[in-house]
Amino acid sequence: MDKKDVEKAALKAGKKIVEHTPEPVKEKVEEKVKEKAKEKFVEKTEGKLQEKANEASEKLQKTKEKNASKVHGKGEEAKDKLQDVLLSVKDKLSDVKEAGENFQEKVSSSDDKEKSKNKRKIKGVNQIKKATDIKSSTKIKSFNDIKSSTDLKTMGS
């Protein structure tokens, strides 16, 4: 027999006993039975609640541990990925730096060559004549100042 079957049988037996007992005893028995039932109900309910709370606590602890291990694992993965990305960025930046330096060298060396070739072609700001540098009419040579062939020195003289 099952526990429920025993409880049902005890309940039937209790009802039969209550039917055949005198009225004043019935009232006292009912009060006692009600008190006992209340106590049993409270005990069972407390036990079940405590059991449920313990189960929930255990599940929470297991989930907490599981999540903690996942977080650490994911953190390590993220750290490794970040390091890989940073190393690749570092490599790319060093390549860019080298290319920039090479370009700068080429530009500066070609500038030096062009400066030497074109030095006389393009005048700088300092080389442009100002209004004060232009000769006035008094500074122009007259016909008296122009040398003639007699004024030239020869090799023998």
For residue range 108-130, what is the model confidence (pLDDT) as tens digits?
776 666 555 555 566 667 777 77
pLDDT score for 52: 93
Lowest mean per-residue pLDDT among 7-21, 51-65, 127-141: 127-141
CA dihedral 49, 55, 60, 62 (to 10 degrees): 170
Residue 61 amino acid letter: Q
Contact predicate 26/16, CB 8 Å? no
In this predicted model, which residue has the larger pLDDT, 69 or 126? 69
Q: What percent of the chain has pLDDT over 70?
A: 76
